[in-house]
Amino acid sequence: MLSVLRLRRLVRQVPLQTSFIFLFLLCILSVFLSSYFLYAVKQKLEPSLAAGRSADDLYVTPSRPLPFLSGVGGTLSSDGSRTDPVVLVFVESPYSQLGQEIVAILESARFRYRTEISPGKGDMPTLTDGQRGRFVLIVYENILKYVNMDAWNRELLDRYCIEFGVGMIGFFKANEKSLLSAQLKGFPLFLHSNLGLKDCTVNPKSPLLHVTRVFSGPLPGDNWTVFQSNHSTYEPVLLAKTRSAESTGLMHTSVVQDLGLHDGIQRVLFGHNLSFWLHKLVFVDALSFLTAKRLSLSLERFILVDIDDIFVGKEGTRMKVADVKALVETQNELRRSIPDFTFNLGFSGKFFHDHSIPTHLGYAVAPHHSGVYPVHIQLYEAWKRVWDIRVTSTEEYPHLKPARFRRGFIHRGIRVSVCVTKAVLSRWGIFVAIANNTLYGSKLSIFLLCQKSLGY
Ligand SMILES: *[C@@H]1O[C@H](CO)[C@@H](O)[C@H](O)[C@H]1NC(C)=O
Ligand SMILES: *[C@@H]1O[C@H](CO)[C@@H](O)[C@H](O)[C@H]1NC(C)=O
Ligand SMILES: *[C@@H]1O[C@H](CO)[C@@H](O)[C@H](O)[C@H]1NC(C)=O
Ligand SMILES: *[C@@H]1O[C@H](CO)[C@@H](O)[C@H](O)[C@H]1NC(C)=O
């Protein structure tokens, strides 16, 4: 009887509770609606600005109405969601060396791109798809192709860059025909070419530094271009001295950043190609900076340095006492920035048995990496059971070539790292480090040190 009463009281209370809940929901809804409208109206009144740009710069009026502007309503922003994460690369030809190197970097980092032969007259690719921008960044293998473009295409491209907050990277490579000193057409920027440079330093205040760290060292080649300007839009990224005898010790800018204060477009210009290893890092940082980190790589790198066949190298190439000492010294130096960093030294099993060498097992490489990929299950099982192998490496996953597409994987609890040989290392320089390796943790600084000591 008592329970029936209770039940009845409960039933009577329900409509009251329901109406409270209803009121509560109504409150939430009205708060949500009012904040939404306030925010939306505010957004319309204040178009968001890209970093480092003034509103005036963004409102450069085109002399002719451009097709992609109709219906956009004049709201300018670089919030990123309005462009596809694709880099548009203007190359000199399908086989040009620098063009291929640019593409290799984009591919190593798994960034999407599209190449176009630098247009002559009237064949600029379609830049927009409805109200979306199709490209997040423009790269010119030869910046002169950009500055000398016909007026219509130039305006189309500049307007696109301003409208969608898209930046630009360009290379200036002097040749025998280029003037020793010239102004970059249409810009308050002067170029001095065919210089030999020395003592390269990174401008520690450059806003685009991310992977690149302060460095100082030599520059290869003697066909450098330096940039000179007194406009506040230009900020040096790399600086160097001239190598000539009458050098005054004055620092010249060999990579310059245009903050967009001149015409509303942010740019990074290189006074040489990408053969200098530091340029590859600055290029990666420029990609990240100019796309507001949409095309960015984390600072974490997983690298294993495996020195193979330590005892059976060819006569004359085997390690001597001095080499061993240098190796230990380097290892200690690396340990200062990477805790527990240890070189892996490989040797054949026969040596292991004959000399009872003390080892840390857990890592093994099959002869020629065979059986690792494509996977030979028996090898994995035996490794796990007999030696408790946890790590190995392969050159084949998913394919041998091109090396920049190689990846690591984990199979049956054994981690398989991407193996790159020294030949590949020197070819792809820093970018082997960006392949997504799945091994022991370490930081990029180690790779920089490797690069330095290997002389890239
Ligand atoms: C870069 O320039 C140097 C010196 O002019 C040249 O030897 C090298 O082949 C060039 N590399 C690329 C990728 O263009
Ligand atoms: C560098 O410039 C000099 C002078 O213009 C020229 O003779 C030489 O061939 C150039 N070297 C390269 C590698 O382009
Ligand atoms: C900048 O350089 C130009 C050309 O050399 C010169 O005419 C101008 O007066 C300079 N401006 C400043 C602020 O130094
Ligand atoms: C690298 O690998 C990790 C773990 O497998 C994954 O989460 C991450 O997305 C990968 N990064 C790239 C750039 O492929």
Structure confidence at residue 187 (pLDDT): 96
Q: Secondary structure of 391-438 in the HEC alphabet?
A: EEEECCCCCCCCHHHCCCEEECCEEEEECCCHHHHHHHHHHHHHCCCC
Name the burial class of residue 99, with classes exposed (0-12), middle (13-18) and buried (19+) by CB atoms within 10 angstroms of its CB: buried
Backbone CA torsion sign across 152, 157, 161, 167? negative
**Taking a C-beta distance cutoff of 8 angstroms, is the pair 225, 192 a contact?**
yes
pLDDT at 356: 77
Least reliable range by pLDDT among 61-70, 172-181, 204-213, 267-276: 61-70
Task: Choose among 115, 108, 112, 107: nearest CA to 91.
Answer: 115
pLDDT at 23: 58
Q: Which residues contact 426 (CB under 8 A, 6 or more apart)?
A: 454, 456
Looking at 241, 262, 290, which one is the last position of a domain?
290
pLDDT 10s digits, 192-206: 998 889 889 999 999
Residue 355 within any structural domain of the chain:
yes
Whether residue 203 is found in the same domain as residue 346? no
Residues 206, 148 share a domain: yes
Strand partners, 394: 418
- Has residue 19 got a pLDDT over 80? no
Last residue of a domain, one of 256, 290, 324: 290
| Tokens describing residue 92 | 């000199």
Whether residue 353 lies inside any domain: the answer is yes
Residue nearest ligand 4's atom 10 by CA: 436
- Write the CA distances from 310 to 212, 383, 389, integer angstroms: 33, 22, 20
DSSP 291: T
**pLDDT at res. 122:** 57
Residue 193 C-alpha from the chain's centroid: 28
pLDDT band at 96 (very low <50, low <70, confident <90, very high): very high
Q: How far apart are CA 361 and CA 363, in angstroms?
A: 6
Confidence of residue 396 (pLDDT cuts 50, 70, 90): confident
Predicted confidence at residue 31, as pLDDT, reads: 55
- In percent, the amount of the chain with pLDDT more than 70 equals 69
The pLDDT assigned to 217 comes to 74
More confident residue, 228 or 122: 228
Supply the mean pLDDT for the chain: 75
The top-scoring range by mean pLDDT among 102-106, 182-186, 234-238, 351-355 is 234-238
Q: Are 213 and 238 contained in the same domain?
A: yes
C-alpha 406 to ligand 4 mean position (Å): 13
User: Hey, which of 171, 172, 173, 176 would you mutate to test ligand 2's pocket, going by the most ligand atoms within 8 Å of its Cβ?
Assistant: 176
Collapse the DSSP code of 155 into the 3-class scheme (helix H, G, I; strand E, B; otherwise coil) and give the result: helix
Last residue of a domain, one of 225, 258, 290: 290
Helix axes 321-337, 444-454, angle to 10 degrees: 150
| Ligand 2 midpoint to CA 172 (Å) | 14
Whether residues 78 and 131 share a domain: the answer is yes
Per DSSP, the chain holds a count of helices (H) and strands (E) of 11, 21
Q: What is the pLDDT of residue 239?
A: 95
Helix axes 97-108 and 277-290, enclosed angle (nearest 10): 60
Mean pLDDT score, 78-107: 89
* Cα 230 to ligand 3 centre (Å): 6
Residue 3 belongs to a domain: no
Q: State the DSSP H helix or E strand holding residue 167, giving kind and residue range, or none if neither.
A: strand 167-171
Which residues, at least 6 apart from 89, have a Cβ–Cβ distance to it below 8 Å? 99, 102, 103, 106, 113, 114, 115, 116, 139, 141
**Residue among 108, 410, 436 to mutate when testing ligand 4 (max atoms within 8 A of CB):** 436
Place 57 in a pLDDT band, splitting at 50, 70 and 90: very low
**Does ligand 2 lie within 6 Å of residue 275's CB atom?**
no
Q: CA 137, 61, 161 angle in degrees (round to 5)?
A: 0
Task: Categorize the per-residue pLDDT at 331 as very low, low, confident or very high, splitting at 50, 70 and 90.
Answer: confident
Count of domains forming the chain: 2
- Domain assignment of residue 8, yes or no: no
Q: What is the pLDDT of residue 258?
A: 97
Residues 104 and 181 in one domain: yes
Range of the domain at 430: 302-455
Do 330 and 406 fall into the same domain? yes
Considering the domain architecture, whether residues 225 and 373 belong to the same structural domain is answered as no
Find out whether the beta carbon of 296 lies less than 6 Å from any atom of ligand 4.
no
Q: Any residues with Cβ below 6 Å from ligand 1, and which?
A: 97-98, 101, 221, 223, 273-275
Helix/strand/coil (H/E/C) assignment for every residue in 103-140: HHHHHHCCCEEEEEECCCCCCCCCCEECCEECCCEEEE
Least Cα distance to 117 among 153, 95, 149, 93 occurs for: 93
What pLDDT, on a 0 to 100 scale, did the predictor assign at position 38?
46
Q: Give the strand pairing for 414-418 and 409-411.
A: antiparallel
Mean pLDDT, rounded, for 259-267: 96
The pLDDT of residue 211 is 81
Ligand 4: which atom is nearest the Cα of residue 436?
Answer: 1
- pLDDT-wise least confident of 70-84, 288-302, 394-408: 70-84
Q: Assess whether pLDDT exceeds 90 at residue 316.
A: no
Residues 364, 284 share a domain: no
CA distance 289 to 293: 6
Which comes out higher in pLDDT, residue 34 or 263? 263
Mean pLDDT of 111-138: 89
Query: Ligand 4 centroid to 436 CA: how many Å?
Result: 6
The answer as to whether 432 is a domain residue is yes
In whole angstroms, give the CA distance from residue 154 to residue 150: 6
Compute the distance from residue 287 Cα to the ligand 2 centre, in Å.
29
pLDDT of residue 49: 27
Residue 35 lies in a domain: no
* Max intra-chain CA distance, the chain: 110
Ligand with minimal distance to 178 CA: 2
CA-closest residue to ligand 2 atom 12: 223
- Range of 144-148, 221-225, 360-364 with top mean pLDDT: 144-148
Whether 28 is in a domain gets the answer: no
32 belongs to a structural domain:
no
Ligand nearest to the CA of 221: 1
The per-residue pLDDT for 270 is: 97
pLDDT tier for residue 219 given thresholds of 50, 70 and 90: confident
Q: Is 79 in the same domain as 177? A: yes
At 36 the pLDDT is 53
Query: What average pLDDT score do residues 218-226 get?
Result: 86
Nearest CA, atom 8, ligand 1? 275
What is d(CA 437, CA 409) in angstroms, rounded to the nearest whole number?
Answer: 8
* Beta-sheet pairing, 414-418 with 391-394: parallel
- What pLDDT is attached to residue 33? 55
- Residue 136 CB-density burial (10 A; 0-12 exposed, 13-18 middle, 19+ buried): buried
Taking CA atoms, 16 is separated from 3, 5, 9, 20, 26, in Å, by 21, 18, 12, 6, 15
Q: How confident is the model at residue 355 (pLDDT cuts 50, 70, 90)?
A: confident
- Using pLDDT thresholds of 50, 70 and 90, give the confidence band for residue 334: confident
Whether the per-residue pLDDT at 56 is higher than 60: the answer is no
374: CB partners within 8 A, 6+ apart: 396
> Does residue 271 share a domain with residue 162?
yes
Same domain, 272 and 314: no
pLDDT exceeds cutoff 70 at 401:
yes
| CATH of residue 190 | 3.40.50.880
SS3 241: strand
206 and 323 together in one domain: no
